[in-house]
Amino acid sequence: MSTEASIKAFEEAQSLIPGGVNSPVRAFKSVGGTPLFIAEGEGAYLTDIDGNKYVDFVQSWGPLIFGHRDESIENAVINAVKHGLSFGAPTEAETQLAKLVISFFDSIEKVRFVSSGTEAVMSAIRLARGYTGRDDIVKFTGCYHGHSDALLVQAGSGAATFGNPSSPGVPADFTKHTLLAEYNNIESVKKCFADSKDIACVIIEPIAGNMGLVPADKEFLAELRKLCDAHGTLLIFDEVMSGFRASINGAESITGTKPDIVTLGKVIGGGMPVGAFGARKEIMSMLSPEGPVYQAGTLSGNPVAMAAGLAALTKLRENARVMAVLEARGRRLVEGMQAAAKACGITMQIDVRGSMFGFFFNEQPVKNFADACNSDAELFAKFHSKMLHEGFYFACSLYETGFISTATTDAMIEDTIKASEKVFKEITNG
């Protein structure tokens, strides 16, 4: 497999763009080699600028549940573009998509659209602070909620609960109100509440997708709900990744725990940049211009993004049964790879939620970020590189989730498993 054109393109990009990429994980730093520059996507396939073709298990990191260039979404976008790219004024499409999103979630009565998941989470936290009149927030190590200052935190020294900035450029004053807890560990959350009486919200990925796929235990989420209720704290489910991927009706329909605020993105834009946050009317009424909590965006509710989202969610509603098919394919994929790994003496932990799948080269089940960090990163890098050469495109980090699309066929799944059998044998035989 030649990647000469991608190598040359990456060299040029590095001279003009920091690291040669516009989002760090794309640089292939954790798996080695040169990132592939993509020429086009079609269905379940990606083709790079060298002409290599891959079965795509990334699907733009989640949005493309119907695969690349889905006809109905593509036509909706083309039609919208013919009427204008942006107006900076209300359109009926915003209301139509809002009505559709709300129809799927019991916890959402009103919703506001923004342009990214980062913006959705940042705005949801501001809303929670405005609603409660409190400053502190609780997040979980390993959960990623975008790159806003208050959320770029790492654990403090010793047993400290309050986080320190994890990136230069983030003042300590911006993270001093962020408390850190351990995922799936309710005692660590209780410690946060013991350390602060000023907690506005607890934010969590109920189905974490940014430390690999690590779902929260049902019992943990139920206890988290009780804690929040007892302290007058809002519970935010960040479903930017898992929304309409793990379940058509949100994580609340799987876990039995109802959040106060939900953040969304990815699938609701059908591949276009979009984010959203929603809650019951009482909370959303605090938002400007109805209330005092300010949030705005020139491209929020962009008509092209709304058209793509409407097409995607309408198709998903009309084909809701496909979620079970996607989950079955995802489970077949990871179970097949797990069996292939076991035959070569390699232990693999696997999980599936809807059309999301994850795997770790780890001797023990993964329940939190510390567990994920004990996975074999070197083995993952070898696996990733060799699978690329076999024509299968997986996420270029062991801390990312994989995705199945409706364009991913049973035959593709079987081909992937067979390729993994070959790859594992090559790895173990040196």
Q: In a structure prediction context, what are the per-residue pLDDT tens digits for the chain, which is 430 residues long? A: 899 999 999 999 999 999 999 999 999 998 999 999 999 999 999 999 999 999 999 999 999 999 999 999 999 999 999 999 999 999 999 999 999 999 999 999 999 999 999 999 999 999 999 999 999 999 999 999 988 888 888 754 344 456 677 888 888 888 889 999 999 999 999 999 999 999 999 999 999 999 999 999 999 999 999 999 999 999 999 999 999 999 999 999 999 999 999 999 999 999 999 999 999 999 999 999 999 999 999 999 999 999 999 999 999 999 999 999 999 999 999 999 999 999 999 999 999 999 999 999 999 999 999 999 999 999 999 999 999 999 999 999 999 999 999 999 999 999 999 999 999 999 999 7
- Render pLDDT for 109-160 as a digit per residue (tens, 0 to 9): 999 999 999 999 999 999 999 999 999 999 999 999 988 888 888 754 344 4
Identical topology for domains 4-69+321-428 and 71-318: no
CATH code of domain 71-318: 3.40.640.10
> In the chain, where are the structural domains located?
4-69+321-428, 71-318
Q: What is the pLDDT of residue 148?
A: 86
CATH of domain 4-69+321-428: 3.90.1150.10
> What is the set of active-site residues?
144, 238, 266
**pTM for this prediction:** 0.95
Radius of gyration of the chain (CA): 21
- pLDDT tens string 235-278: 999 999 999 999 999 999 999 999 999 999 999 999 999 999 99
The 10s digit of each residue's pLDDT in 393-413 is 999 999 999 999 999 999 999
